[in-house]
Amino acid sequence: MQLDPKRWFTEICKEGGLAFSLAIKEKLHAQTTPYQHIEIYQTEAFGRLMVIDGFIMLSERDNFFYHEMMAHPVLFTHPHPRRVLIIGGGDCGTLREVLKHEGVKQVQQVEIDEQVTRLAEKYFPELCQSNNDPRAHFHFGDGLRFVAQAPANSVDVMIIDSTDPIGPAEGLFQASFYADCQRLLGDKGILVHQSESPLIHLDLLKKMRAEMKKGGFSQVRTLTYPQCVYPSGWWSATLAGHALPCFREQDAAAKNFPTRYYNVDIHRASLAIPEFLRQTEESS
């Protein structure tokens, strides 16, 4: 059976030998920016869908898994996160979650393609609810350059909310970039970077962890969570620091803001990894 491309959007994951399709009602927007091709669809079952260069970035129905797990585990791991830098994250969902933490005093977000944010404001306004928070500061430009030029010890937590390691995001997965991140974070800062599917992209995850260590981070730790519109439906984020502490369980259990997925038990469970991934950690 062939799917009608007018009624279905299909993402093909060549390295995984699989594809994922969503029934669509209509295409709402399409444009090519200087950096990438962006499409917005209205789907039958997953609400609105953002696609960049043929790859699904987010859906209304399940984006909360990703945004909550990119923000809350790292913020509840750092002892006192006040200054946060987000590289990427143009849809602003991660920013919204970060700003739920009252102790955070400043968030800088560096997105190379301003149009991603403008389209999110139009088509995913619920993700942009905190864009006018006085603690939020937007920079539209090259994240690599921003990090290279930022002063040392100026950030407590870095969140690398990037697309796949191709095109504009390729340099964000290399040791030279992680070395610049380590300089900004100093000895006590923590970085988290989305690290693809442990099942489909294991080689990339292994290389990424190695690059983090080459860049100067002495400890790395990967957590996993579901993400049904991404290849395999299983995704990960990797923490890096000099001495990653245990997360602040009491604070996470007593959080004073709403979440849809994240809680203290989910945080604890996300750190439990299968044997094949444990072997990767031990060998890196």
Q: How far is CA 29 from CA 50, 52, 90, 118, 122, in A?
A: 9, 12, 17, 12, 11
Flag whether 91 is marked binding: yes
Flag whether 164 is marked binding: yes
CA distance 249 to 190: 17
Flag whether 62 is marked binding: no
Q: Under a CB-based contact definition with an 8 Å cutoff, are residues 231 and 197 in contact?
A: yes
Flag whether 143 is marked binding: yes
Q: Under a CB-based contact definition with an 8 Å cutoff, are residues 47 and 37 in contact?
A: no
- Measured CA angle at 166 (ends 164, 168), to 5 deg: 100
Q: String of b and e for 237-256 (b: at least 16 CB within 10 Å)?
A: bbbbbeebeebbeeebeebe
Verify whether residue 53 is a known catalytic residue. no
Give the rounded distance of the alpha carbon of 12 from its chain centre: 21
Flag whether 265 is marked binding: no
Which is the catalytic residue, given 62, 113, 161, 180? Answer: 161
Q: Under a CB-based contact definition with an 8 Å cutoff, are residues 76 and 252 in contact?
A: yes
Flag whether 161 is marked binding: yes
Flag whether 168 is marked binding: yes
Flag whether 251 is marked binding: no
Flag whether 142 is marked binding: yes
**Sign of the dihedral defined by the CA atoms of residues 46, 272, 192, 103, in that order:** positive
Bind-site residues: 36, 67, 91, 111, 142-143, 161-164, 168
Active site residues: 161
Binding residues for S-methyl-5'-thioadenosine: 36, 111, 142-143, 168
Binding-site annotation: residue ranges for spermidine? 67, 91, 161-164
